[in-house]
Amino acid sequence: MGATIRDVARLAGVSRGTVSRVLNDQPRVDPQTRVRVLQAIADLDFSPSMLARGLSIGRTHSVGVVVPFITRPSIVERLRGIEGALSTTPYDLIVFNVETRQRRDNVLRDLTRGERVDGIILVGLSPDDAMAASADRPGLPTVLIDSHHPRFSRVITNDVEGGRQAARHLVELGHRRIAFLGDTPPMAFTYPASRLRYRGVRMALRSAGLDLPDRYTIMRDPGRTRARELTRELLVGPMPPTAIICASDLQAIGAREAARDLGIAVPEQLSIIGYDDLDIAGYLGLTTIRQPLFESGVSGARLLLGQLSTGNRQPVREVLGIELIARSTTGPPPA
């Protein structure tokens, strides 16, 4: 199987150094010998060992992407963006799925030491200060997607603004009893998007002179099924809201499911707004806040590639736009 550079050198009647030069397209090599070497390479079906090369030049040509809960469609979408941007480069994409703090710490430790990767992309994971410290000593180039830390380049959206837009949309439709269905961050160190969106909602309501009572504020476990249960409880209780803002499309789907269970018409009796604009939202006609998931992956990867090629590790903050997509789950409140 493995022909080495040494075999090539022998067959071509040159030294290993020369073969290496040919391999790396270096100018100072005689056209004649270059041909001979290339021929030998072809004959032996040789291809260089990435491992050895990496050890020698100190780079691995791979980037580590750390994501929490690869389950979630929004995460997958971002991953796709990263993969797309990386696929045209010589960099491999190594995926790490972390679902516990323990595992996160292990992964990050391994990654920031042992020269396993040339750079890191953290998705939805906010580095703590200990980890941030490793960015000081010129450690691994690292970029954040959908999470924050002043020391790192990052691509984010304005979640507060997203919450605000959702709330304003409902207020303009005439709603006055608006609930928020979010989730607690699954792990301490994950990005608290839900909470920020909540904050935006509350701000918008307040400036419209409306209140967001505790009873209308539900933040528990994420996921469709749980959202369905929670919404049901809310809707069968006293003074149900006329609209619900959800922190994700999945939760919005669960909420709608609950409405259906109870025979409550959407949007005639209840308006629902999601967040993300997943593919499925279009099919379901879900009103939602679109955030550029795929594109965030592309941008993040580009940021990292930039650091990798220029060595410039100045933190950049890239803010991607969001947009309200009004479909058919929102309308005026019942008279």
Nearer to DNA, 52 or 319 (CB): 52
Residue with tokens 């995460």: 75
Return all residues near 189 (Cβ < 8 A) that are at least 6 apart: 101, 104, 125, 126, 127, 128
User: Residues 242, 270: contact at Cβ < 8 Å?
Assistant: yes
Can residue 117 be called a binding residue for DNA (CB under 7 A)?
Answer: no
Can residue 17 be called a binding residue for DNA (CB under 7 A)?
Answer: yes
Give the footprint of its own copies on this chain (CB under 8 A). Answer: 1-2, 45-52, 54-55, 60, 62, 70-71, 73, 76, 79-80, 83-84, 87, 92-97, 103, 109-110, 113-116, 137-139, 224, 253, 257, 279-280, 283
User: Residues 241, 259: contact at Cβ < 8 Å?
Assistant: no
Q: Where are the alpha helices (DSSP H) in the chain?
A: 5-12, 16-23, 31-44, 50-57, 73-86, 101-112, 129-133, 159-173, 193-207, 224-236, 249-261, 279-284, 293-310
Residue 103 interacts with which of DNA, its own copies, none, CB < 5 to 8 Å by class: its own copies
Nearer to its own copies, 116 or 302 (CB): 116
Nearer to its own copies, 50 or 319 (CB): 50
Can residue 15 be called a binding residue for DNA (CB under 7 A)?
Answer: yes
Q: Is the peptide bond before 334 cis (omega within 30 degrees of 0)?
A: no
Out of 13, 174, 213, 334, point to the residue binding DNA (CB under 7 A).
13
Nearer to its own copies, 69 or 316 (CB): 69
Nearer to its own copies, 39 or 56 (CB): 56
Binding window for DNA (CB under 7 A); candidates: 54-62, 126-134, 183-191, 250-258 = 54-62
User: Residues 326, 290: contact at Cβ < 8 Å?
Assistant: no
Which two three-digit tokens encode residue 5? 């550079």
Can residue 58 be called a binding residue for DNA (CB under 7 A)?
Answer: yes
Helix (H, G, I), strand (E, B) or coil at 329: coil
Rounded least distance, CB 31 to its own copies, Å: 26
DSSP string, 127-184: --HHHHHTTTTT---EEEES---TTSEEEEE-HHHHHHHHHHHHHHHT---EEEEEE-
Residue 335 interacts with which of its own copies, DNA, none, CB < 5 to 8 Å by class: none
Can residue 109 be called a binding residue for DNA (CB under 7 A)?
Answer: no
Nearest to 290 by CA among 328, 322, 264, 326: 322
Residue 195 interacts with which of DNA, its own copies, none, CB < 5 to 8 Å by class: none
Nearer to DNA, 53 or 168 (CB): 53
Can residue 112 be called a binding residue for DNA (CB under 7 A)?
Answer: no
Instruction: Count interface residues toward DNA (CB under 7 A).
Output: 32
Tell whether the torsion through CA atoms of 100, 101, 102 and 103 is positive or negative: positive
Rounded least distance, CB 38 to its own copies, Å: 16
Under rule CB under 7 A, which residues in 23-52 are in contact with DNA?
Answer: 23-24, 28-30, 32-34, 46-49, 51-52
Length of the chain: 335
State in Å, rounded, how far the first CA of the chain is from the last one: 77
Rounded least distance, CB 93 to its own copies, Å: 5
- Using CB under 7 A as the criterion, which residues of the chain lie in contact with DNA when the complex forms? 2, 4-6, 13-21, 23-24, 28-30, 32-34, 46-49, 51-53, 55-58
